[in-house]
């Protein structure tokens, strides 16, 4: 049986989510939309305003006609900052954003594999970012971390990451939360690109889409001379990031990969050819042809309506778009044209850290009992960790 406390957390989370999606709505309108008692709305909204998370905005008329204008509500984007981090083999990219997704600061830190471990380096970056937030008279609400590899995002565990040299489960979230008084989420880097879209550019066409993350970088932290391209896929189905039963959804190797001549590349190119990317336009064209060939199968089989290209690949719209469109139509079974938008992330090379911040923000505005894992601390439960009430109410 659901407890009174749990019911309050669920209703508060629903109200939070509704205010975020419907800026300026009045208390009365929210009560009608969510079919909640006005007394419940009044109690929850008072609590949220006292915590500084919600503020009143201009007057709002929900329906045409006579009557007084009601006071609207909105999330205060300056309530807190969120830190998003991408961990690569050579560096960490870190961004601070407000709750609207506006970037406040962006920094790059060297990955020093010889000094301390991954968790220790991230701890230092987070502590620096906490000081940055304090200097801006803001609190740091929490952290999202994106990296290449197989990640259990519900427990914050890196199960395997060849680029980062992790071959057994690495409990990154627990290692950090033991040292830091902050909620932390860990996610695969390509999935972070999905979270960025869901958090900051959510629309009707965001229900079923693929995020393609392509980066030109060293692909092995232990042997950082291995240059090449890293490619991953994030999949969103019905507005939710799809992880798969073993969290390997989106792990990519081209259908044309040559097993007889294995390489560090995920494509049918040699290590020597990969090292010439992106300068060698001939090799680059072959990689883009393979990307299009593989994506056409996924788009058509899963009935995807949008592809979002992120990372370094976002710079190559003129090269990628015609290839992908051509392959989708070539692979399509029916006479009618397959409709699939191809968009390019405005975050480009910073799509992962911004998406990691978006992951945290999406969790903050989620509803308990309505996520993939019902035991996740999301919505109002997460807010309580960030901003306890000013006083204990009797």
pTM score: 0.92
Say how far residue 182 (Cα) sits from the centre of its chain.
18
> What CATH topology corresponds to 81-192+352-366?
Nucleotidyltransferase; domain 5 (3.30.420)
The answer to whether the CB of 304 falls within 8 A of the CB of 270 is: no
Instruction: Could you list the beta-strand ranges (E) of 80-204.
Output: 81-87, 91-97, 103-110, 140-147, 150-152, 157-160, 184-188
The pairs formed by 365-371 with CB atoms below 8 angstroms and a separation of 24 or more are: 365/13, 365/16, 365/17, 365/20, 366/13, 366/17, 367/10, 367/13, 367/14, 367/17, 368/6, 368/9, 368/10, 368/13, 369/10
Q: What's the rounded Cα separation, in Å, for the pair 303 and 316?
A: 24
What are the C-alpha distances in Å from 385 to residues 54, 141, 182, 223, 290? 16, 9, 8, 40, 46
Closest to 214 in 3D by CA, of 138, 155, 129, 284: 284
Is domain 4-75 annotated with CATH 1.10.10.10? yes
Q: What percent of the chain has pLDDT over 70?
A: 91
Q: For the segment 243-296, what is each residue's pLDDT rounded down to a tens digit?
A: 999 999 999 999 999 888 888 889 999 989 999 999 999 999 999 999 999 999
Structure tokens at 160: 């395997």
> What CATH topology corresponds to 203-349?
Nucleotidyltransferase; domain 5 (3.30.420)
Closest to 12 in 3D by CA, of 360, 387, 356: 387
Q: What's the rounded Cα separation, in Å, for the pair 213 and 345?
A: 10
Q: What's the rounded Cα separation, in Å, for the pair 280 and 288?
A: 12
Q: Output the pLDDT for position 243.
A: 96
CATH 3.30.420.40 maps onto the chain at: 81-192+352-366, 203-349
Identify the burial level of 21 via C-beta atoms within 10 angstroms of its C-beta, where 0-12 means exposed, 13-18 middle and 19 or more buried: exposed
What is the full per-residue pLDDT of the chain (394 aa) written as tens digits?
678 999 999 999 999 999 999 999 999 999 999 999 999 999 999 999 999 999 998 765 555 554 556 789 999 999 999 999 999 988 999 999 999 999 999 999 998 876 679 999 999 999 999 999 999 999 999 999 999 999 999 999 999 998 898 999 999 999 999 999 999 999 999 999 999 999 998 766 678 999 999 999 876 666 655 578 899 999 999 999 999 999 999 999 999 998 888 888 899 999 899 999 999 999 999 999 999 999 999 999 999 999 999 999 999 999 999 999 999 999 999 999 999 999 999 998 999 999 999 999 999 999 987 666 667 889 999 999 998 775 444 3
Instruction: Could you list the beta-strand ranges (E) of 266-370.
Output: 306-311, 341-344
Q: What's the rounded Cα separation, in Å, for the pair 36 and 189?
A: 38
């Amino acid at each position: 049986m659901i407890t009174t406390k749990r019911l309050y957390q669920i209703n508060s989370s629903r109200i939070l989510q509704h205010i975020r999606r419907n800026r300026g709505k009045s208390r009365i309108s929210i009560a009608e939309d969510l079919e909640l008692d006005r007394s419940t709305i009044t109690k929850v909204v008072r609590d949220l305003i006292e915590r500084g998370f919600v503020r009143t905005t201009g007057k709002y008329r929900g329906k045409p006609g006579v009557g007084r204008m009601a006071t609207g509500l909105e999330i205060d984007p300056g309530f807190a900052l969120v830190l998003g981090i991408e961990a690569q083999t050579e560096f960490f990219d870190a961004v601070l954003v407000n709750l609207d997704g506006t970037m406040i600061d962006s920094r790059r830190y060297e990955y020093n594999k010889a000094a301390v471990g991954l968790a220790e380096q991230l701890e230092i970056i987070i502590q620096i970012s906490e000081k940055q937030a304090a200097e801006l008279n803001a609190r740091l609400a929490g952290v999202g971390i994106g990296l290449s590899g197989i990640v259990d995002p519900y427990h914050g565990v890196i199960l395997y990451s060849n680029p980062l040299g992790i071959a057994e489960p690495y409990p990154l979230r627990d290692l950090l939360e033991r040292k830091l008084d902050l909620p932390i989420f860990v996610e695969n880097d390509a999935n972070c690109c999905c979270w960025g879209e869901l958090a900051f550019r959510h629309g009707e066409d965001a229900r079923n889409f693929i995020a393609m993350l392509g980066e030109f970088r060293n692909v092995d932290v232990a042997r950082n001379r291995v240059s090449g391209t890293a490619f991953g896929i994030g999949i969103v189905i019905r507005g939710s990031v799809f992880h798969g039963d073993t969290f390997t959804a989106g792990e990519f190797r081209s259908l044309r990969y040559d097993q007889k001549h294995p390489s560090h590349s995920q494509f049918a190119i040699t290590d020597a050819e990969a090292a010439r990317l992106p300068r060698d336009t001939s090799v680059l064209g072959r990689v883009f042809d393979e990307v299009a060939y593989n994506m056409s199968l996924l788009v058509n089989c899963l009935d995807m309506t949008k592809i979002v290209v992120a990372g370094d690949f976002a710079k190559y719209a003129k090269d990628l778009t015609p290839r992908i469109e051509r392959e989708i139509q070539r692979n399509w079974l029916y006479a009618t044209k397959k409709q699939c938008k191809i968009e390019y992330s405005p975050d480009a090379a910073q799509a992962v850290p911004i998406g990691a911040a978006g992951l945290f923000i999406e969790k903050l505005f989620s509803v308990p009992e309505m996520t993939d894992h019902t035991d996740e601390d999301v919505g109002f439960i997460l807010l309580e960790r960030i901003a306890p009430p000013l006083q204990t109410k009797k």
